[in-house]
Structure 1
Amino acid sequence: MSEKVLDVNETPKLGKLLTLSFQHLFAMIGATILVPQLVGLSPAIALLTSGIATIVFIIITQFKVPAYLGSSFAFIIPIQIATQEGGIGSAMIGSMFVAAVYALISLLIWKTGHRFIMRILPPIVVAPVIIVIGLALSPVAIMNASTIQVGDERVYSLLHFSAALVSLAVAIICIMFFKGIISLMPVLLGIIAGYIYSIVIGIVDFTAVKEAPVFSVPEMLLPGIDYEFTVTWSLLAIMVPIAIVTISEHIGHQLVLGRIVERDYIKDPGLHRSILGDGLGTFISSLIGGPPKTTYGENIGVLAITRVFSVAVIIGAAVLAILVSFLGKVMAIVQTIPGAVLGGISILLFGIIASSGLRMLVDHKIDFGNQRNLVIASVILVIGIGGATIKFSETFQIEGMALAAIVGVLLNLILPGKTTETLIDETE
C-alpha cells in the first residue's frame, strides 16, 4: 500500500484544503441529489443535510473517522410507499424512527459489544437484501429513462430515452476507461453529459432557472409546521426494518475505511459511536426535510486514491455542500435535469447496488451447495423483488424490502446448521 499523504489528524494549507474538499464534493453530489429527485424532496435540502450530518458524524466519532454522509438509496422505495400512504411527512417521521433504531443498536453495542449484531446480520442475510434493493428499484430506473408524463399517464419517448442512453454511456466510459478521480465520479459526469445532450435536443426548460434568485434558503419540511403526521404501525413496518440493511452497509464501510487508513474503527472510536453518528445524521436530516443518510463509498474511494485521510478535508467538503445548497440558481439548474437523464444513471447505479450484494456473497465464499444458504437467499429475493405483503389490518402491513429483511433475519436465527460466517471475522 502506498504511503499516506496526510493522516487523519493533519490539516493541509487552505488552498490545498479547498481543492481536496471539492474533490469529495464532486464525488458525492451526483448520487446525493439523485435520491431526493426520485422521492420528491428538495435537492438543496439533501445537500444541506448531507453537510450537517457529516459534521455531526465527525464530532460523534471524535474527529477520528474521515467519512462523508450522503443520501441513502436503501430508503427510496420505503419513502415512496410511505409518501403514497400518508404524505411526505410520514416518510420523514418514519426516518426519524429509523434513527431511533440506530441509537438503540448503538447503546446495545456500547453495553454488550458488537458480536451480537454480526451474528444477527451475516452475509447470507445482508447480501440478498442488498440485491433486492437494487433490483426492486430497476422498474423506477426504466420508467424514468424511457417515458414522460403526459396528462395522467406515462408515454414512451425515444427522444428522452436517447438522453438516458447518453448519460449511461458516459458513466460506463468513466468507470471502464479512466482512472483516478474521474473513475469515482461516473454519476456526476454522466448527469452532466446527459444534461448537455438534453439541452441540445431541446428537452430542458430553463424558465425556473431564470426566475430563481441567486441565493435561496433550502426548502425545509418541519413537523407540525409544514405537515401534520400520524405514526402508525404500518409506517413503522415500512421504514424501520430497512435499518437492518443500512447498519450492515455502515459496518462494511467502516471495515473498508479502516483498512485504507490503517486503523480499527470497530474498536476506536468504536462501532457504537459511528452507528450513533450515522443515526443522528439521519435524524437531523429527516427533522428538516432531508433524506436519510449513509456513509458514502464514493468518498472512501477518493481517500484510497489520494491517500489524504485528513478529517479536515471531509469537514471542508461538508461546509462546501452547505454553502452550495444556498445557491438558488445552481439548485434551480439541478431541478431542470430531465427525468430521463436521472433514469439513465439509475440503470447503472441500481445495478451496481445489486451487484455489490453478489460481490459480498463471493467475497465471503457463501456456499450455495449448502441448502440452508440456498433457502435463505431464495426466500429473501422472491419476497423482496416480488413485493410480497403481510396485511394485518388496514393500518398495519409489512411489505417488499422490509418484509424480506425481517424474514431473512428470522430464517437465519431459526434454521438449523447455522455457520459462524459474519461481516467481521470472529477471530479478530
Structure 2
Amino acid sequence: MNQENNQKIVLAINEKPKIGQGILLSIQHLFAMFGATVLVPALTGMSPAIALISSGIGTLIFILITKGKVPSYLGSSFAFINPIITLKALEANPNSEIAFGSFLVGSFLVGLTYSFVALIIAKAGTKWLMKLLPPIVVGPVIMVIGLGLASTAIKMVMNNPSNEYDLTYVTIGFITLFITIITAIFSKGFLSVIPILVGIIGGYLFSIAMGVVDLQPVIEANWLTVPDFTIPFLDYTPALSWYVIFLMIPVTIVPIAEHIGHQLVLSKVVNKDLIEDPGLDRSMFGDGLATMVAACLGGPPSTTYGENIGVLAITRAFSIYVFIGAACLAILFGFCGKISALLSTIPTPVMGGVSILLFGIIASSGLRMLIENNVDFKIKRNLIISSVILIIGIGGAAIHIGDLFSLEGMALSSIIGVILNLILPGREFISFKNMFKEE
C-alpha cells in the first residue's frame, strides 16, 4: 500500500481509539458477527448465549496467541452444522451408542486438529497445505456445505412445531427472506454489512404482529444470569468413538482452507503479511485453542469471520482494541438473561428465512472460488473431482463398517476429493493467493 492509501487508515492495528469511537466501532463489529454466530446454535439446538460468550472468549484468546497483530473476530463455524445436528440426534436416541456430549468431544477434537496443523505449519511451512487443499477440492466442498443444508432451511420455513405445513410460517419465512435481500441489495454504509441481523429483526417484528411470539419469557427473565454451560467431567463424561472422529475431523478441511483465505484477504486489507508475521501457525493455533475452549463450555467450533473483515475494509479502522471491545460486549450479552430469553423466542421460520439466503451464499462462495481461480472444467480431472465431491456430499453417501467405523456425507466427500486430487494425473498447483490477486 502506498503512502496515499496509508493516509486513509483511520486506526492502525496497535492504535488505541478514543473511548466513544472505540465503543461505536466495537458495537459495529458485534452486529456484523451477531446474526451468523447466533444462527449456528439456533439451528443445532445449542445455546446462543454460550455461543456469544465462547466467541468473545475465543476472540480474546486468538488476539493473545497472535500477539495482537491480527484484527479478526471468531464466531460460530457453519461447516459443522450438519455433523452437530447428526450427533445430537443420535445422543437423544436411547437405542444409539453415542453418549451425551459426543458432539462437544468432536468439537474439541476439531480444535486439536487445528492445533496439530498449526504445529506442522510451524515446522514445514504453508506450501504443502495449499497443495493438499487446492480450490478444485475446497470449492465443491464449500458448495456441499450450503446445498446440504438446503432442506434444513426449507423445513424451518414450511413446517410448524408439530412438523405440519403451516402457511403462517411460510409467510413469515419469506417476509424475512425478502427483508434480508432488500437490505443486502439496496442499503448502504453500516446496514449493508448486517443484512442478516436486519432480516432477523424484521422477521421477528412481523412474527410478533402475526401472533406467533410469546414474549412472556423475556418479561420474566433476569437481566443478569449464568447460561447453562456444559462442562466436561462435571455435566458429562467425555466418550470417544470412531463415529465422532470420522464425522467431525474430515470437515476441518473446510474451515482450515477458509482460515487461510481470510488471512490472505486480511493481509491485503491491512497491508501486512500476516501469513509471515505473526505467522499462519499462530493464527491457526489461536483458532484451534478458541475452539477447544468453546467445546469445554458447550459452544460450537470457531472460525474467523469474513463479515468482520468486510467491516475492516469499509471503516479502515484496524485497531485490535476495537476487537477486544467487541469480544467483551459479546461476553456481556451472553450473561444478559433478557437477551438470552429474547433469542430463544425467535420463531424457526425467521431463522429459516435468513438461512435460505445464507446457505445459498455459502454454496455460491464455493462456486466463486472455482471461478476466481480460473479452474478449467474442460480438463477432465477437474470435472471428475468436483462431480464426485458434489454427488457424494449432497447425496448423503456413507461407509459403515459395523459399529466401529462410519464415514458419510460432507466428511466422506472431502476425503475422497483430497485423494482424487492427489492420485489423478495432470495435477496443477493453483494457490489460493490467486483469489486475491490485484486486477
Instruction: For residue 303 of structure 2, give the secondary structure of its aligned residue in structure 1.
Output: strand
Selected match of 1:35 from 33, 36, 40: 40
Cα distance in 1, alignment partners of residues 128 and 433 from structure 2: 11
1:267 matched to 2:276: yes
1:104 aligns with 2:113: no
Instruction: Give the match for residue 393 of structure 1.
Output: 402
Q: Aligned partners of 1:92 and 1:210: how far apart in 2?
A: 32
Matched, 1:309 2:314: no
Question: Is 1:139 matched up with 2:151?
Answer: yes
Q: 1:17 aligns with which of 17, 22, 27?
A: 22
1:172 and 2:181 correspond:
yes
Shift of 1:424: 3.4
Distance in 1 (alpha carbons) for counterparts of 2:99 and 2:208? 33
Residue of structure 2 in register with 1:409 after alignment: 418
Q: What is the alpha-carbon distance in structure 2 between the residues aligned to residue 395 and residue 331 of structure 1?
A: 39
Deviation at 1:88, TM superposition (A): 5.4
Once residues 227 and 291 of structure 2 are traced to their aligned partners in structure 1, the CA distance between those partners, rounded to angstroms, is 17
Aligned partner of 1:51: which letter? G
| CA distance, structure 2, for counterparts of residue 5 and residue 217 of structure 1 | 37
Q: 2:305 aligns with which of 296, 306, 309?
A: 296
State how far apart, in whole Å, the 1-side matches of 2:135 and 2:264 are.
14
Larger mean CA deviation between 48-57 and 221-230 belongs to 221-230
Matches within 5 A, 1:227-238: 227-238=236-247
Tell me which residue corresponds to 1:333: 342
Distance 1:36 1:183 in 2: 24
Letter in 2 for 1:212: A
Which residue identity is paired with 1:301? G
Contact 1:215 1:326 in 2 (8 A): yes
Query: What is the DSSP-based 3-state SS (H/G/I as helix, E as strand, rest coil) of the residue aligned with 1:390?
Result: strand
Contact 2:27/2:326 (<8 A) preserved: yes
Which residue, out of 51, 59, 65, partners 1:54?
A: 59
* 1:241 pairs with 2:250: yes
Residue 331 (structure 2) pairs with residue 322 (structure 1): yes
1:395 Cα deviation after fit: 3.5
What's 2:127 paired with? 115
Partner of 1:355: 364
Equivalent pair of 2:372/2:434 in contact (CA under 8 Å): no
Residue 174 (structure 1) shift = 1.1
The 1-side partners of 2:100 and 2:220 are apart by 26
Measured in 2, the distance between the counterparts of 1:119 and 1:393 equals 34
Bigger shift: residues 160-169 or 220-229: 220-229
Is the contact made by 1:48 and 1:218 (CA closer than 8 Å) also made in structure 2?
Answer: no
Q: Which moved more, 1:207-216 or 1:270-279?
A: 207-216
**1:282 alignment partner, SS class:** helix
Q: Report the TM-score, using the length of structure 2 for normalisation.
A: 0.95
Q: Offset of 1:318 from its aligned partner?
A: 0.3
Secondary structure of 2:15 counterpart = coil
**2:430 matched to which residue of 1?**
421
Whole-Å separation in 2 of the counterparts to 1:148 and 1:249: 35
**Contact 1:109/1:272 (<8 A) preserved:** yes
Asked if the contact 1:376–1:412 (Cα under 8 Å) also holds between the matched residues in 2, the reply is: yes
By how many angstroms is 1:207 displaced? 2.4
Equivalent pair of 2:99/2:239 in contact (CA under 8 Å): no
Aligned to 1:205: 214
What is the number of equivalent residue pairs in this alignment? 424
1:253 maps to amino acid: H
2:86 aligned to 70, 74, 81, which one?
Answer: 81
Identify the match of residue 129 of structure 1 among 132, 141, 161: 141
Following superposition, the deviation at residue 237 of structure 1 comes to: 0.2
Report the TM-score when normalising by structure 1.
0.97
Distance 2:73 2:257 in 1: 17
Q: Which amino acid aligns with 1:305?
A: I
Give me the whole-angstrom Cα distance separating, in 2, the residues matched to 1:185 and 1:314: 17
**Separation in structure 1 between the aligned mates of residue 172 and residue 390 of structure 2, nearest angstrom:** 31
**Partners of 1:284 and 1:100 in 2: CA distance:** 11
Which amino acid is 1:78 matched to? P
User: Structure 2: which amino acid aligns with 1:419?
Assistant: E
User: Contact 1:181–1:305 (CA<8 Å) still a contact in 2?
Assistant: no
Aligned partners of 2:227, 2:16: CA distance in 1, in Å? 30
Secondary structure of 1:155 counterpart: coil
CA distance in 2: counterparts of 1:100 and 1:271, whole angstroms: 16
Deviation string, structure 1 residues 118-169 (Cα, Å, up to 9, x no partner) = 000000000000000000000000000111122xxx1011101111111111
Deviations 1:325-344 (A, max 9, x none): 11101110110000000000
% of aligned pairs identical? 53
- Runs of 4+ aligned residues of structure 1 deviating over 6 Å after TM superposition are none
| Pairing partner for 1:254 from 237, 255, 263 | 263
Q: Which residues of structure 2 form unaligned runs of 5+?
A: 91-97
SS at match of 1:6: coil
